[in-house]
Amino acid sequence: MRHHNGRLGHATQVIVVILAATALGANDPPRNDPDRREIMLPGLTRSGAVLLPNGWTLQPAGKQSPLGDLPVLLVENPQAPILAILHAGFGEHEVWTLDAKTGRTIARTAIPASFSGLTWSADGARLYVGGGFDDVIYGFDHKDGLLSNQSTYRYPDRGELQKTSETGQGDKKRQRVIAGLAVSADGKSLWAANAFGHTLARFDIETRTLVSEVELGLDSYPYGLALDENAGRIYVSLWGAAKVAVVDIKANVLQRHYETQEHPNEMITAKKGQYLFVANANRNTVTVLDTKKGQAVETINTAIAPNAPAGSTPSSLALTPDESILLVANANTNDLAAFNVKEPGKSTPLGFIPVGWYPTSVRVGRDGKTLWVTNGKGGSSRANRDGPRPGFAGGGENRTRQYIGGLLLGTLSTIPMPSPRQMAEYSRTVYACSPIKKDDPGGVTGPEASQDSPVPRKVGEPSPITHCVYIIKENRTYDQVFGDMPEGNGEPSLCLFPEQVTPNHHALAREFVLLDNFYVESEVSADGHEWTMGAYATDFVERTWPLGYRGDSRVPFPAEGNFAIATPAGGYLWDRAAAKGVSYRSYGEFIENGKTPADPSHTKVKALQGHFDPKYRGYDLAYSDQKRADRFLEELAGFEKAGEMPRLIVLRLPNDHTSGTAPGKPTVSAMVADNDLALGRVVEGLSRSKFWPKLAIFVVEDDAQNGSDHVDAHRTVALVISPYVKRKAVDSTMYSTSSMLRTIELILGLDPMSQFDASSRPMSPAFIGEPNPSPYSVRPANVDLNELNLRTAPGAEASMKLDLSKEDQADDLVFNEIIWKAVKGANSTMPPPVRAAFVVPRVEDDDDDDD
């Protein structure tokens, strides 16, 4: 391989240096260390790295520059040192232009909406931007980093009804949603991949008219484009079909398909079009296709451990100018993977480069000396000191800046092309920032469980616990419920639902174990239920939910079985159970309710067919959690009579979400108390059943969303309950939802679903070897469960305008402020949620006072 001005050289040299550096030992970011009794908290560590709520660490290479909300694409002008960056998150959708040499922002151009799609004309004089769910493409004149003279490319049937049945029932407006864009070399033709329309469109640039539209197949979700005019082809990655479509650009017809792996997204051609590199986001892979032979010649693994489960999420590709080095952005593991691809089909790994949180786009400068990476979630969660306040929370700048969906502002990493020695150092940092073990990605991180722990150390080892009940609740932070408990790290002033309202939550935490350092990986319910059941949210979910949460009613809810493309490669917890012959049953999770409570529920999820209770009602705030408890306890009685119950039960208790102060609906405190009593009743019933001696109950919120918490808004309410759980204890080990899933998997002998549950710390410290069979006694409600909101309640008028029929359809800032005032009073001011401010880990009984 040729040298690049003294930078990345021979692959063998790099590998030798990496091995040498690894042998010397990495200066790892601080971890939980029982010998120092150190309690890790999200935020800035003493080493300068940033600990994320999921237990992974950031220590990005190069210079970090601030960007806007969810930067998704970066392109360098082909003729001038100008970068264009598209932002398509919860907040303002815009294109930033930057000076490629200095990183200085030149201009910010707002657009109404986007999803993806950003490309320059060959002469660099025009920039084209996808208009997302508006079904338009914007064109701009460009000069010196400034965009002007906006033109718009529209579909002639834009917004018209698309017939879906003979009766007209169910007819809906056709929705295309612009994804990838490509421009012909002569600047006359513009192609667009229509992600939700499942077509490839071609526009005449001069007349701005639609020339052709090629159907690519239902549920294909065309995403990325790679144009090869010499071969007369354009390649379209089919995000939902694990294929690349080959379209003849002269005849405007689909020629054939190439097979890839799941979620092919960004593509790049090499060797004058002979080879096509395709990133597969739902695997840890890049498919290398020989376009002349029409088949794959190689599949490149981008994960940091060769046998790691899915989860890296390769989402962007770049080649050096001489096409010898391929760089792949691994979105979920926060790194770039580098490969020597001078001979496609015989690639060799060069190492890894640490970048920011959720890298979305990687590019190499035309001179081969610089790497640019857009990091979708930036460098850390942040504190929002100017949190929601009365009269201002519902809109404008404050709404965008303070809501968690728009709080994680992106960054740009500018990295000089590393030398072999630098590459080795970077690789060592990537390994230090990840809890994955290279040799055993499914191994336990940190201290292993004791020999008598009921939580096995490896899948397949026996456990005295044979049954697990996994209870999913909705949207509360730790401080909102447990902030009043002096035993834990709580803030009483932030406690909305103290022991008076939640006596069972408090009793369970006090009688068993209080978990005061437990976090969700998710930001909202859309990715929350995916993480809760799959230890992962796919790129489809991550890219789609911010658009819906910004208030666009055209954007569908992307999760909970609504779309097959949302399913992770590793499946969900019930898929892992089915694979191992472990019996399972869902009560309300990934279930669609019947029209009325008397009508049976149903599900689109294949693995749940025959494995859910059609009489159990899922998310419906008009339906009491007491009725859900009644139904489950009725089922439990049947299991006792039969002598067996499913070894894995997933149970949804959603009413702690509340209906705000909508007149005629139960009050906020009544709904949380309803949820609390139902939880207590379910736990009491299970603890007095014949299954209790071999049972473990796990309770978690699907997300913590926008509530206040003085540590981090990802910190949440979690409980573990079992004869094998410690009694009257506090466990401050840093856990996440993936830790809970990993614990369930180890107990039941299930394989992990993703890299995140595979590498997360099991909750072994919360368990003991000698069981205490004492059952739990439910605490009665201390508030009136039938108390209804009056029209004079704080926020009553605003609550009536909110859509609470599904999770998170309501404006979250408005809704949470309503909840706060309902509890604290109309004249109170809701404090700002704190999200991973740069907190230094606190150390107990440590003489080192260095901050």
Where exactly are the structural domains of the chain? 467-824
Specify the pLDDT at position 549: 86
CA distance 553 to 555: 5
Kindly state the average pLDDT of the residues 208-225.
Answer: 97
Q: Tally Cβ neighbours within 10 Å of residue 577.
A: 26
Residue type, 851: D
Percent of the chain with pLDDT over 90: 71
On whether the CB atoms of residues 154 and 139 are closer than 8 A, the answer is no
Specify the pLDDT at position 48: 86
Specify the pLDDT at position 263: 98
What distances in angstroms separate CA 623 from CA 358, 475, 511, 620, one per listed residue? Answer: 38, 18, 30, 6
Higher pLDDT, 97 or 28: 97
Specify the pLDDT at position 383: 36
Specify the pLDDT at position 171: 53
Residue 837 DSSP SS3 = coil
On whether the CB atoms of residues 140 and 129 are closer than 8 A, the answer is yes
Kindly state the average pLDDT of the residues 771-794.
Answer: 88
φ, ψ (nearest 5 deg) of residue 148 = -150, 175
Rg of the chain over all Cα atoms, to the nearest angstrom: 27
Inform me whether the pLDDT recorded for 405 exceeds 80: no
Of 314-318, 620-624, 697-701, the range with the lowest mean pLDDT is 620-624
Q: Report which of 28, 51, 59, 35 is spatially closest to residue 736, judged by C-alpha positions.
A: 51
pTM, two decimal places = 0.88
Specify the pLDDT at position 719: 98
**242-262 per-position pLDDT tens digit:** 999 999 999 999 999 999 999
Kindly state the average pLDDT of the residues 397-401.
Answer: 41
Q: Tally Cβ neighbours within 10 Å of residue 347.
A: 21
Beta strands 146-154 and 136-143 are: antiparallel
Specify the pLDDT at position 795: 60
Kindly state the average pLDDT of the residues 439-457.
Answer: 65
Inform me whether the pLDDT recorded for 663 exceeds 70: yes
Structure tokens at 696: 């473990």
Specify the pLDDT at position 436: 87
Percent of the chain with pLDDT over 70: 81
Beta strands 735-736 and 518-519 are: parallel
**525-566 per-position pLDDT tens digit:** 889 999 999 999 999 999 999 999 888 889 999 999 999 999
Classify residue 766 by its DSSP letter. G
Specify the pLDDT at position 808: 56
Residue type, 148: S
Specify the pLDDT at position 848: 37
Kindly state the average pLDDT of the residues 694-698.
Answer: 98
**728-755 per-position pLDDT tens digit:** 999 999 999 999 999 999 999 999 999 9
Structure tokens at 32: 């939980």
Kindly state the average pLDDT of the residues 173-182.
Answer: 93
Structure tokens at 108: 């910010």
CA distance 565 to 281: 11
Inform me whether the pLDDT recorded for 441 exceeds 60: no
On whether the CB atoms of residues 236 and 247 are closer than 8 A, the answer is yes
Specify the pLDDT at position 689: 98
**13-51 per-position pLDDT tens digit:** 333 333 333 332 333 333 333 333 467 888 888 888 999
CA distance 173 to 135: 11
Higher pLDDT, 688 or 7: 688
Inform me whether the pLDDT recorded for 471 exceeds 50: yes
Residue type, 1: M
Exposure of 10 by Cβ count < 10 A (0-12 exposed, 13-18 middle, 19+ buried)?
middle
* Mean pLDDT, the chain, whole residue set: 86
Inform me whether the pLDDT recorded for 76 exceeds 60: yes
Higher pLDDT, 71 or 844: 71
Please give the CATH architecture assigned to the domain spanning 467-824.
3-Layer(aba) Sandwich (3.40)
On whether the CB atoms of residues 43 and 837 are closer than 8 A, the answer is yes
How many Cα neighbours within 13 Å face the side chain of 463?
31
Specify the pLDDT at position 677: 98
**582-609 per-position pLDDT tens digit:** 999 999 999 999 999 999 999 999 999 9
On whether the CB atoms of residues 138 and 158 are closer than 8 A, the answer is no
Specify the pLDDT at position 661: 63
